[in-house]
Amino acid sequence: MEETVVVENERRSTFVTVLAWVFIVFSGFGTFVVLMQNIMFFIFFQRQREELNPAFAAFDVPLFFFPFVLLLALSTFISAIGLLKRKNWARIVFIVIMSLIILWNLFGLGLQFVLIDSSMIPAGGQELSEFQTMIYVIRAFTFVLVAIIVVLFAWIIRKLVSSEIRSEFT
């Protein structure tokens, strides 16, 4: 007697499929761009880095920043592929990455208010007014951009932790 295995129809949400493809495309391209930046930085600027005082080598921010951004882009790319394949580890990694991006943007927004302060404003006259206007426009634009990113990524996280979406992942 032969046994037949009935495979239950898997219901796959359009949300996860579209999200995965969007991030596969953008993080794939981002990974390539950041990889090229890493190569350029570590090869072409090696001489300049060697001329730095060795005591300050630990404070060479690009030395740590470029590889970190590459790791983040590559992790996003790999987890987006995992999302497409409905792997639970990828869903969790993707949620962590979205959370880190939210925190990074909020940190950057706060940093902007700390770094661009009144001590940077030139003294007197028309230049002062134009410089202050420029600072206000930059701050407003940054605030709107960060708000959009935070709301969008928080919504993505909320969808990814919902029981309906969680049930799709193995």
Q: Average pLDDT for residues 34-61, to the nearest whole number?
A: 71
Residue 6 confidence (pLDDT):
38
Query: Is the model's pLDDT at 7 over the cut of 50?
Result: no
Spatial distance between the Cα atoms of 110 and 148, rounded to a whole number of angstroms? 16
Residue 1 confidence (pLDDT):
47
pTM across the whole model: 0.77
Spatial distance between the Cα atoms of 73 and 121, rounded to a whole number of angstroms? 36
Q: Average pLDDT for residues 108-121, to the nearest whole number?
A: 74
- Mean predicted lDDT score pLDDT of the chain: 83
CA 118, 121, 123, 128 torsion-angle sign = negative
Q: Average pLDDT for residues 51-66, to the nearest whole number?
A: 64
